Amino acid sequence: MQKVLEANDNLALDIRSLLREKRVSMVNLISGPGSGKTTILEKTIPLLKEKYSIGIIEGDIETDRDAQRLKLFSLPMVLINTHGACHLNSGSILNALEALPLDDLDIIFVENVGNLVCPAEFDIGEMAKVAVLSTPEGDDKPSKYPLLFRESALVLLNKIDLLSAVDFNLHNFYDDLKRLNGCVSVIEMAATKKIGLEQWVQWLETTIIAKEESKTGGKC
Amino acid sequence: MQKVLEANDNLALDIRSLLREKRVSMVNLISGPGSGKTTILEKTIPLLKEKYSIGIIEGDIETDRDAQRLKLFSLPMVLINTHGACHLNSGSILNALEALPLDDLDIIFVENVGNLVCPAEFDIGEMAKVAVLSTPEGDDKPSKYPLLFRESALVLLNKIDLLSAVDFNLHNFYDDLKRLNGCVSVIEMAATKKIGLEQWVQWLETTIIAKEESKTGGKC
CA A191/CA A48 separation, integer angstroms: 15
Which residues in chain A are contacts of B113 at CB distance < 8 A? 117
Q: Which pLDDT score is estimated for B1?
A: 79
In words, the CATH class of domain A6-208 is alpha beta
List, for residues A120-129, the tens digit of each pLDDT value. 999 999 999 9
* ipTM for this prediction: 0.88
User: How confident is residue A211, by pLDDT bands cut at 50, 70 and 90?
Assistant: low
List, for residues A61-92, the tens digit of each pLDDT value. 999 999 999 999 999 999 999 999 999 999 99
Q: Cβ of A4 under 8 Å from any chain B Cβ? A: no
Q: Which pLDDT score is estimated for A2?
A: 86
Q: Is A45 left (phi over 0), alpha (psi -120 to 50) or beta?
A: alpha
CA A24/CA A12 separation, integer angstroms: 14
Of A136, A143, A167, the CB nearest to B134: A136
Q: Which pLDDT score is estimated for B212?
A: 56
SS3 call for A55: strand
Span A167-185, mean pLDDT?
97
Q: How far is B6 from chain A (nearest CA, A)?
A: 17
Q: How far is B161 from chain A (nearest CA, A)?
A: 9
B31: which strand partners? B132
Contacts of B102 (CB under 8 A, 6+ apart): B18, B19, B22, B24, B55
CB contact under 8 A, A118 and B117: yes
CB contact under 8 A, A165 and B165: yes
Distances in Å between the Cα of B202 and the Cα atoms of A45, A74, B196, B199 are: 48, 50, 10, 5
Q: Which pLDDT score is estimated for A215?
A: 46
CB contact under 8 A, A86 and B84: no
Q: Cβ of A175 under 8 Å from any chain B Cβ? A: no
